[in-house]
Structure 1
């Protein structure tokens, strides 16, 4: 059984290991602002979802990552649905996310969860391929 909760200070060391590209200062900031959800099974964290707000308004799922052994078991969907519900409760009418254009599995996951492609941008020097953006209307 998967339990999805907001991350706490006690989860920071795990998040620093698993979301290594974000860095401890950013992770601590996001946890303090309630911008991480963690999925737990038997009290152990097995995945996380990190989000922010695009333009300070639109909920934007920055990263969702599940431990390899737990992928394709519903953990990611549980995280996403908990986030969607929380954002809807806050009054959001649309969600955003993105992935690199050559990441077919994440894009398939976004489509299965109701997202539609809305455009792409190139980020020379940061990524070798364009970033594809997705939206989902929830309100």
Structure 2
């Protein structure tokens, strides 16, 4: 697997699959180097990871997506560790993410060292668990 910062040629792939972001923000995220693309040895898309900043200063992982046929191979773990290392190189000491309480992802993040740090309850939505990890 190869991980690279997304570029404009990746826009179509992301735009067709990432339904959790306003379409108008995708190019902005690409230009800001806030999307990573995962490819196999033949340069086929495997997935992506997108992040932003909470409080404008704390990296917040918004989305990891691995195509169905590549799941269960530890690729999600690899992209998380890659991202954490990139954030560490920027001099940052804490990263965040979140997941719904009814999603299995919470267990994935805890296995990677993320700790429950609070929650958010929106009307008519499941509980959102906020997770953080020190990367010093």
TM-score normalised by structure 1 residue count: 0.93
1:27 Cα shift? 0.9
Give runs of aligned pairs for residues 7-86 of structure 1, distance below 5 A. 7-41=6-40, 42-86=42-86
1:9 Cα shift? 0.3
Query: 1: CA distance between counterparts of 2:130 and 2:20?
Result: 20
**1:138 pairs with 2:130:** no
2:109 maps to what in 1?
110
1:65 Cα shift? 0.9
1:21 Cα shift? 2.9
Deviations 1:54-91 (A, max 9, x none): 11111000011111111111211121111011000001
Query: 2: CA distance between counterparts of 1:38 and 1:55?
Result: 25
1:101 maps to what in 2?
101
TM-score normalised by structure 2 residue count: 0.95
Query: 1: CA distance between counterparts of 2:102 and 2:90?
Result: 33
Q: CA RMSD in A?
A: 1.0
4+ runs of 1 displaced by more than 4 Å? none
- Which structure 1 residue ranges, 5 or more long, are not aligned? none
Query: 2: CA distance between counterparts of 1:24 and 1:129?
Result: 24
Q: Is 1:4–1:78's contact at 8 Å kept on the other side of the alignment?
A: no
Query: 1: CA distance between counterparts of 2:111 and 2:94?
Result: 16
1:24 Cα shift? 2.6
